[in-house]
Every structure is written in structure tokens, then in C-alpha cells.
Amino acid sequence: MPNLENLKKQAKLILRWHRERHYPVAALIRAHLPRFLNIPDSEILAASFKLSDAQEIVAKQQGFANWQALKAGLSATSRKVKSSPSKATIVCAEPQLFVTDLQRSCEFFREKLGFTLVFSYGKPPYYAQVGRDAARLNLRCVERPVIESTVRDREELLSVSMTVATADEIKLLFLEFQSAGVAFHQTLKKQPWGAKNFVVEDPDGNLLLFAGPAN
């Protein structure tokens, strides 16, 4: 369960980044606050930005509509945890993909797979995050491939797996990618264990598995 004090510190850090004109925070603000959508980084960094704005970003990162909802949710969760055995819950995973051309990879995920750019970091950028619905992927730029391509293809070494809820959705997703001209390592296939999946290959040869129920 997230700690409220730590979340308060995160909000203050976001506020400080904005005051210091820390470049990557502009993408974070644009991704979570609708009024900054389609606003250039320079204008975001020059705009009025309060602690309540930073708190709203933190709340949305945790899956709440606003800061008050986050506090109420944490309070309710805290009471529930106290009345049950203590156990940590992992609420999010962000696989990291190694790419050799960050701009090319970001364009691939946006234009071919329907992801959006959450943020990019560096001048020139060498680290970025893309997201679609609840999925988040971190892209790390490297000088050369980390995994030897023939080994990856032969062993079918997956870089990441993503799941949809229904059989209809996995078919729709496959058709969407097919119409976008995506290169498939494996087309849509029903597996013996009761799933349907397909595998996409990104520009660096990373294998991305998309799966859903067969029925």
C-alpha cells in the first residue's frame, strides 16, 4: 500500500521540478493534466503550477481521480490491511526494453501499436516511457543490441507480455496491428493451455507478446 507521506514528498518533488524548469516534468504534467494537453514543454514550464496540481498528478498515477479520493482510498485500504494479515501487493510492472534508436522506437509504438508517449528524458533523449491503457513500457537507448538476434529468434526470448480481458479483444487487437502493417513474429494462434496470443517484433527485434482468452 502506498504511504501517504511518501506520496506527499513525490508531489513536492514534482512541484520543485516545475519551479526549476526541469525538462522531463513537462511531459509528466501533460500526460496527467488535461488542460496541458497539446501545450509545448516551454509553455508548461512557464505556466502557473501549484502543489495541488502536483498532488493531482500523483493521485492519477495511483489510479485515483484526485488527491482527496487518494487520501480516502488509502485510509480505507489502511483499515482493511490492519484487520487482515500483512502482505505486500505489487500494483504495477514496467518492463524495460533496450533499443538502439529511441525516436524510431517511440514512433513505432505510437504509430503502429497505438501507444502514447508518457515522457522522454535527456538531450538528446535516451530514456522514455510509452503507455497504452494500463500498460507501461520503458525504453532505454543502448549503443548496440543487448541480446544476440539469432539466439533471441531461435529461443523465442520474449521481452514483454501484455494481456487483454476477452477473446474478442485479442482478435480486435491483432486486426488493428495487422491493418497498421506491424511485423509479426507469430500471428494470432490458439495455444494448448487455453489462450490466444500473437507476437510482435519491434524495430530492434524485441518480441512483444499479446495474449487473451481463447473463448
Q: What is the pTM of this model?
A: 0.60
Average pLDDT over residues 185-199: 92
Over residues 183-204, mean pLDDT: 92
Spans of all domains in the chain? 4-82, 96-141, 149-213
Q: Tens digit of pLDDT for each residue in 104-117?
A: 999 999 999 999 99
The pLDDT mean for the chain works out to 88
Place 80 in a pLDDT band, splitting at 50, 70 and 90.
low
> Which region among 78-92, 126-140, 188-202 has the lowest average model confidence (pLDDT)?
78-92
Determine the pLDDT at residue 6. 85
- Give yes or no for a contact between 191 and 172, defined as CB atoms under 8 angstroms apart: no
Question: How far apart are the C-alpha atoms of 58 and 64, rounded to whole Å?
Answer: 9
For 149-213, which CATH superfamily applies? 2,3-Dihydroxybiphenyl 1,2-Dioxygenase, domain 1 (3.10.180.10)
Cα 30 to the center of its chain, rounded Å? 15
Is residue 189 very low, low, confident or very high in pLDDT (cuts 50, 70, 90)?
A: very high
- Nearest C-alpha neighbor of 118 from the set 142, 141, 136: 136
Q: For 117-162, what is each residue's pLDDT tens digit?
A: 999 998 889 999 999 988 999 999 998 887 787 787 778 888 899 9
Residue pair 14/28 in contact (Cβ under 8 Å)? The answer is yes
- Each residue of 51-69: pLDDT tens digit? 999 999 999 988 888 999 9
CATH class of the domain at 96-141: alpha beta
- Cα atoms found within 13 Å of the Cα of residue 98, Cβ hemisphere only: 9
Query: Looking at the predicted structure, is the pLDDT value of residue 15 above 60?
Result: yes
